[in-house]
Structure formats: C-alpha cells, structure tokens
Homo-oligomer: A and B are copies of this chain.
C-alpha cells in the first residue's frame, strides 16, 4: 500500500527555473533524438505528471489516472516504462524511500534537498547553495567527479514537534 509521501511545497522558497520548452516539448525532442515514437500514452503521462508538483510513486500516479476501460487508460507496465524514460530524458528524478521508488520534477526545477519527518512521513524541500559548494569542495579533495547528490535529513518537523508539545502539556492538566 502507498504511504503518505506528499510534499509540503513552499512556493515562496523554491522558484521554478524559467525554461524555453514545456516538459512535453522537451520529451518529444528526446523521443526524436532516440528514434522513439510520440504516443498518446506518453503525451498524456507527461501532462499528468507535470499537472501537480508533488513527489509521487508509481502507485500514486496510477491512482490519479483513468481506470481500465475509461478513456486515456494507461496500463501499469506502460506507466513504469514511461517513468523510466522520463528519468532518462531528464524530466524526473528518482530516489528511494521506504523500499519504493519516488519521483520528483527535475526539468525546470532547481536543485534541492529534503527533510523527511519520521512522524508524519512528509518530505519537505529546502535549498542550500552552501551545501552544493561544500559538496563540491569535499569531492575535489577526493578527486571525485560529481554528477549529482541526494541528501535526506531525517527527524521531526516543526508541526509534529508542536503537536507533541501541546499533547504533553494537555496530559499534565
């Protein structure tokens, strides 16, 4: 069963990078460059995946799609195959959380990292230029050529901390 991996997304904190092409345009360019085909399923999946800015896994995406028989139905294998292509095309980034693959927008979206609250299972994004500088400086010391990184800080988010404190104070009464 899919766990709650929804994003507390803060529009003020993380601005989108302006891009010249829409995700669909970019994907179609990618398809062309590889001799792959524009299909209705791929077009529809780009649309669906970029209609919300949230982390999601394959099941959450499937839940959001039309059921079998309905128009625009896309089968489970095709969803998995297409997610892989989105990653190859640079549209999505994939990471693993609690044994499942989680996807997030990559194209047109700035580099960022995550807090993961172990109480409410929520991923929250943050950006730190310093972190990237430090990463590159460490990598230089080890002569490691950085392609990307993945940082998840686990702990308890502010809301969950407050919720706990309130309850603790109530308990005392």
When all copies of this chain in the complex are counted, the total is 2
Of the A-B pairs whose beta carbons lie under 8 Å apart in the complex, a sample of 18, sorted by A's number, is: A99-B99, A99-B101, A124-B142, A126-B142, A130-B134, A134-B134, A138-B153, A143-B157, A144-B153, A144-B155, A144-B156, A144-B158, A145-B156, A146-B153, A146-B154, A146-B155, A147-B155, A149-B151
For residue A85, give the distance in angstroms from its CB to the closest CB of chain B. 18
| Minimum C-beta distance from A44 to chain B (A) | 27
Distance in angstroms between the alpha carbons of A138 and B124 in the assembled complex: 13
Inter-subunit contact B155/A139 (CB<8 Å): yes
Q: How big is the A interface, by class?
A: 20 to 34
Chain A, interface SS category: strand
